[in-house]
Amino acid sequence: MDRRGFLGYAVAALMARWLGSGPRALLAATPDTSQSKRRYKIGVCDWMILKRQRLGAFQLAHQIGVDGVEVDMGPLGDRPTFENQLADPAVRQQFLDEANKYGLEICSMAMSGFYAQSFAERPTVNQMIQDCIETCKGLGVNVAFLPLGVRGDLVKYPQLRGPIVERLKAAGQLAAQAGLIIGVETSLDAAGEAELLEQIGSPAVKIYFNVANAVKNKRDVCGELKTLGKERICQIHCTNEDGFLLQDDPQVDMPRIRQTLDELAWSGWLVLERSRSARNPRDVLANFGANARYVRSILQG
C-alpha cells in the first residue's frame, strides 16, 4: 500500500473513533445502496445479537449498520438434527421478505451447535449437513459455517482427525452437488488448515477464518491470511474475544488486515461475532454498532 492509501485508512479509523455513539453515529450507521458492488461486505451473527433465527435480527442488523446477517440453523443439543424453523418454506419466505425490507442479505447459514457438539462423533451428522444445505438452497445462501468447536479441537484431540476428515469429505460431496461451500473453523494454524483441506480434497470445503483464533494463539493474523491464500478462505469472522471494541483493540490491526486482503485480491464477507466492550457488554446496539462503523470505515471507506 502506498503512503496515500495508508493515510486514508488512518483518517477513516480516526473518524470512526470520533463518531463513537450518539446522533453523529446514527447518521453514519446506514449502509449505502451500492452494497451489491462492494468488494468487502460486513455481516453480523444473529445468535450473537441475541436474535437466533428471529425475524427481529434484520431490523436490528439494519440499526447496527451492516450489509447482511449470518443466520443460525438453531439449537442442536441431543436432537438428531437442528431445531430449524427455516425448514418450513413459509418461514423461509418471511425471512427473505424481512431481509429485503431492510435491504440486507443472508450471507451464510451457521451450524453453531457444533461449537459444543462433536462433529466427529455424532451419528446423524450427514442428516444435519443435508438439512443445512437444503436451508441454504431455500434461502439462496452459498456458504454454510461449520465450527469444529471444543469437542472437535484437532490440536487437543488429534485422534479425531481421521473421522473428521472422512465426514468433511462426505459433507463436501453434498455441498458440491448443491453448488455450495462448507466453511470450516478449526483450532489449527493456517499451515495446518491448508494441509487439512488438501487431505479432504474437496473444492466445496474451505476455511472460515476467525481473527480471534489467530490472536488467541499468538499467531500473526495477516501472516495466517497469506498462508491460506485467496482460494482457501470463504468468509472471515472479523472479531476478537470480548473486552475491547475493535477500534480500541491493540491486538487487531484492521488497516493491515485490509491491506493484506487487498494484496491477496480476496473479496467477500467479514462477519462480526464478538469484540464487546467490557464497560457495557450487554448493550448489543452500542457494541455491534461501534464495530460495524469502524470496520466499515476501514473496508468500505
Rounded to two decimals, the pTM is 0.88
**What is the torsional sign of CA 280, 16, 225, 34?**
positive
pLDDT digits (tens, 9 = 90+) for 231-241: 999 999 999 99
pLDDT value at residue 301: 83
The grid coordinates of residue 284 equal: 448489543
Q: Are 30 and 67 in contact, with CB atoms under 8 Å apart?
A: no
User: Does the pLDDT of residue 18 top 70, yes or no?
Assistant: no
pLDDT digits (tens, 9 = 90+) for 31-61: 444 565 789 999 999 999 999 999 999 999 9
pLDDT value at residue 16: 44
Q: Are 150 and 185 in contact, with CB atoms under 8 Å apart?
A: no
pLDDT value at residue 65: 98
State mean pLDDT over 248-258.
Answer: 98
pLDDT digits (tens, 9 = 90+) for 98-150: 999 999 999 999 999 999 999 999 999 999 999 999 999 999 999 999 999 99
Instruction: Give the relative orientation of helices 3-19 and 284-299 as an angle to the nearest 10 degrees.
Output: 160
Q: Are 15 and 297 in contact, with CB atoms under 8 Å apart?
A: yes
pLDDT value at residue 40: 98
Q: Are 299 and 31 in contact, with CB atoms under 8 Å apart?
A: no
Q: Which of these, 44, 58, 157, 131, lies nearest to 98 by C-alpha position?
A: 58
pLDDT digits (tens, 9 = 90+) for 201-239: 999 999 999 999 999 999 999 999 999 999 999 999 999
User: Does the pLDDT of residue 23 top 70, yes or no?
Assistant: no
pLDDT value at residue 34: 54
User: Does the pLDDT of residue 15 top 80, yes or no?
Assistant: no
pLDDT value at residue 36: 59
Please state which architecture CATH assigns to domain 39-299. Answer: Alpha-Beta Barrel (3.20)
Q: Are 118 and 150 in contact, with CB atoms under 8 Å apart?
A: no
pLDDT value at residue 20: 41
pLDDT value at residue 25: 35
Helices (H), the chain: 3-19, 23-28, 56-64, 89-101, 125-139, 161-178, 190-200, 211-216, 221-228, 254-264, 284-299
User: Does the pLDDT of residue 30 top 90, yes or no?
Assistant: no
pLDDT value at residue 6: 45
